[in-house]
Amino acid sequence: MIYVCVPVHDEAKTAGLVLWKVRQVFTAFPREYQLLVCNDASTDDTGDVLATYARVLPMEVVTHRERSSRSSGPTVPSGIAPSSCTPTSSIPPTPWRRW
């Protein structure tokens, strides 16, 4: 399984195009995939667009209530804090496979 993370903020006009292009890539490259889309407190119709695509694509949407600030210094990988976002559903854990 391949997981693809797509961050969005006020991307109502382009989010659908990006998600559909990712779908096209995985159609040509037959592999299981899951999209994780992080909506960073969009103020436009991004949430509605994502909800439409979530019905037809293997995707989960995580919505931040407040915009994340990146102006305080370099980005440090820290994951998604449960108190700052509300997942619309949970992603089940994938068991490790030995190749």
> Where residue 65 falls among pLDDT bands split at 50, 70, 90?
confident
User: What span, in angstroms and rounded, lies between the C-alpha atoms of 39 and 23?
Assistant: 19
What is the pTM (predicted TM-score) of this model? Answer: 0.64
Residue-level pLDDT at 57? 94
Contact 34, 58 (CB under 8 A): yes
Q: Hunting for tokens 């989010």 — which residue is that?
A: 15
pLDDT digits (tens, 9 = 90+) for 15-28: 999 999 999 999 89
| Residue range 32-61, pLDDT digits in tens | 999 999 998 899 999 999 999 999 999 999
User: What would the two tokens of residue 45 be?
Assistant: 């119709």
Q: What average pLDDT does range 4-16 have in this prediction?
A: 93
Q: Which two tokens stand for residue 60?
A: 């989960």
Helix ranges (H only) for the chain are 15-28, 46-54
Judged against a pLDDT cut of 50, whether residue 77 lies above it is answered with no
